[in-house]
């Protein structure tokens, strides 16, 4: 685990120095977008399940 952390720190540092952080920002934006998409999907699934449960109780 420490080795992966060291590799990540070196890669981010290299990107910051050589590419002014372009790749790190791009990756971070992608991760945030995927997380937002997953949260939105989970909310929609939960809402659909609640609506389905409400219609079966009546």
Q: Calculate the dihedral angle through the C-alpha atoms of 29, 32, 33, 38, rounding to the nearest 10 degrees.
A: 160
The band of 6, judged by pLDDT with boundaries at 50, 70 and 90, is: very high
Q: pLDDT tens digits for 27-40? A: 999 999 999 999 99
pTM to 2 decimals? 0.59
CB 26 within 8 A of CB 33: no
Contact 22, 15 (CB under 8 A): yes
Position 1 pLDDT exceeds 80: yes
**Structure confidence at residue 56 (pLDDT):** 67
Contacts of 22 (CB under 8 A, 6+ apart): 15
Q: Residue 42: which pLDDT band, with cuts at 50, 70 and 90?
A: very high
């Amino acid at each position: 685990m420490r080795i992966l952390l060291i590799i990540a720190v070196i890669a981010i540092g290299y990107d910051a120095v050589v590419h002014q952080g372009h790749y790190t920002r791009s990756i971070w934006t992608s991760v945030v977008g995927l997380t937002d998409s997953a949260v939105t999907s989970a909310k929609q699934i939960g809402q659909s399940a609640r609506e389905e449960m409400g219609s079966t109780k009546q």
